[in-house]
Amino acid sequence: MTQDLQSSVPLAEEDKAGGWTKPLATGVLVLADGTFLEGEGFGAVGEAVAEVCFNTAMTGYQEILTDPSYAEQIVTFTFPHIGNVGVNDDDLETTNSAARGQVRGLVVFAPVTDPSNYRSRAHFDAWLKARSIIGLSGVDTRALTTLIREKGMPNAVIAHSPEGVFDIKALTARAAAWPGIDGMDLVPPVTTQAAHEWTETGPIPARLAAPAHRNAHRVVAIDYGVKRSILQLLTEAGCAVTVVPATTSAEAIAAMQPEGVFLSNGPGDPAETAHYAVPVIQDLLARKIPVFGICLGHQMLALAIGAKTHKMRQGHHGANHPVIDVTTGKVEIVSMNHGFAVDAATLPPNAVETHRSLFDGTNCGLRLTDRPAFSVQHHPEASPGPRDSHYLFQRFVTLMEERGS
C-alpha cells in the first residue's frame, strides 16, 4: 500500500546494484484518498469505479460474483485462493444468462490457477473477461480488510492494463468524484423486465419438507435483484412462483391471487428503492397477504411499517456470521451480504425483532404481530454458506397454509 501519486508511469521498480527488477504491476486499486495498491491484473481489461467491501467466505466465489446484490461493488476476498475450482453453470446466481448490475471487480491475494474440479466448465479468468469483471491479485488483502474495518468501505477505481501504465491522479479524482452507494437506487438495472413463471429447482436437492402437493402455493416474488437459488428453494418448498418487476403495482399483484408474496434481496440504498416499493408493500400488508422478505426485502418490509435503515461502516459479507434467533435462543451460522441495516430502535410496536447479529448486535429479522409477515436480513438459501436457516422457507409455506385454512 502506497501513497505515491506519480502520474501515467509504469508501476515497476528496479535496483540495478542489487540486480533485481520488481514485476510490472498490471493492475491497481486506487482509493478516493489517493492510496493505491499494486498487483497483477486479470479478467477484463479497463477500469471501473465502485465501493470496496470484503467477504470472509471460504467458498462460493462464483455465487458471490453473480449475486445482483453486489452491484456497484468491488469484493475483496479474505480467503487467499479464489478461482481454483473454475466456474460452471449451476452456481450462477443471476436469473438469466446476461450479467445484470453485477459486481464491478474483485481483489485477491493469490494468482488465479488453472481449475481443478470435476464440475468446472471454464477457466475463471476467461469467465471474468466474458462478464467484463476486472480482477486484481497479489494484494495484501489482510491490510485492505483492516483498512475497511477501521475506516469503512471506501470508494475506489480498479484498473487493469497489460502495459502497466496508470494515471494515478486521474483515477484518484474519479474515485473521489463518485457519489457512492448511499443514496443510490440500484434495483432498476437488476430487476426482471417482465413477469414470468419460475419452475427450476436446485441442482443439489435441499431436502426441504415440501407439502404433499408440490407447487400448491401461488407465490409472487417481487424481484429487487433476486438470487436464482432463492427461487429454486421456494419452488422446492412447494411454491408455484411468478417473478415480477420491482415496480409492479399492488393491484397487478393482487390480481394474480397470490397466497403469498416474497420480497427479494437486491442492491443499493433501501431508502431510495422505498419510494416505489413501500406503497406496494403497505397495500399488500393491508390485504393481509402473507409476506416473506430476505435482505433488501427485509429492509423494504421494515420501511413499509415505519422503521428506518442506515448505512453500515463495513457491512456484513460472508458465509460465517453468527445470528441468534431471539425467540428460541438458537444460534445459526448464516450467509450475509448487506451494507445497510434496519435500525431496531425504530421498529413500531407491532413488529417483534426475531433475529440479531452476534457480531455487532444489528437487527437481522422481524415479525409482525398483526399481519402474516416476517423477514430476515441474512440469506437462508445459503448459497454460498451453511444451511442453518433453510427452515424459514418452510415457515413461509406454513404461514400460507394457516392463512388459507
Active site residues: 295, 379, 381
User: How many Å apart are CA 380 and CA 389, to the nearest integer?
Assistant: 5
User: How many Å apart are CA 312 and CA 340, to the nearest integer?
Assistant: 5
Q: From the CB of residue 267, how many other CB atoms can be counted at a distance below 10 Å?
A: 30
3-state secondary structure of 378: coil
Q: Which of 141, 128, 82, 123 is nearest to 102 (CA)?
A: 128
Which helix or strand (DSSP H or E) is residue 37 part of?
A: strand 36-43
Name the H helices within 45-163: 61-65, 124-130, 141-151
Which helix or strand (DSSP H or E) is residue 354 part of?
A: strand 351-357
Instruction: Please answer whether residues 325 and 332 qualify as being in contact, where contact means their C-beta atoms are separated by less than 8 angstroms.
Output: yes
DSSP classification of residue 384 = S
3-state secondary structure of 228: helix
Rg of the chain over Cα atoms, rounded to whole angstroms, equals 22
Residue 239 CB contacts under 8 Å (≥ 6 apart), including other chains: 215, 217, 218, 219, 260, 397
User: How many Å apart are CA 170 and CA 172, to the nearest integer?
Assistant: 5
**Pairing label, strands 134-137, 36-43:** antiparallel
Residue type, 148: I
User: How many Å apart are CA 128 and CA 50, to the nearest integer?
Assistant: 17
CA 81 remoteness from chain centre: 20
